[in-house]
Amino acid sequence: MRLLRSFFVVLAALAATPAFAQWPAKPVKIIVPFAAGGPADIYARVLADKLQAALGQSFVVEDRPGGGAILGTEAAVQSAPDGYTLLMMSNTHTVNESLIPDKRYVLLRDLVPVAPVNYSDLVLVVHPSVPAKTLQEFLALARANPGKLNYASSGPGTPYHMAGELLKAMANVDIVHIPYKGSSGARTDILGGQVQMMFDAITTMAPNVRAGKLRALATSGKVRSTVLPEVPTVSEAGVPGYEAVIWLGLMAPANTPRPIVERLNAEITRIVTSPEIRKAWAEQGAVPLSMSPEEFGKYMREDIEKWARVVKISGAKPDR
From CA 178, how far away is CA 171, in angstroms rounded? 19
pLDDT per residue as tens digits for the range 225-267 = 989 999 999 999 999 999 999 999 999 999 999 999 999 999 9
Q: Considering the domain boundaries, does residue 236 fall inside one?
A: no
At residue 1 the predicted structure's pLDDT band, cuts being 50, 70 and 90, is: very low
What is the CATH classification number for the domain harbouring 177? 3.40.190.10
265 and 302 both lie in a single domain: yes
Residues 6+ away with beta carbon under 8 Å from 62: 29, 30, 31, 32
Model pTM score: 0.82
Structural domain of 157: 121-219
From CA 224, how far away is CA 236, in angstroms rounded? 9
30 and 114 both lie in a single domain: yes
pLDDT per residue as tens digits for the range 45-93 = 999 999 999 999 999 999 998 888 999 999 999 999 999 999 999 999 9
What is the CATH classification number for the domain harbouring 109? 3.40.190.150
114 and 128 both lie in a single domain: no
108 and 132 both lie in a single domain: no
Asked which of 175, 199, 219 is the last residue of a domain, the reply is: 219
- Cα separations in angstroms, 161 against 63, 151, 166, 168: 20, 9, 9, 11
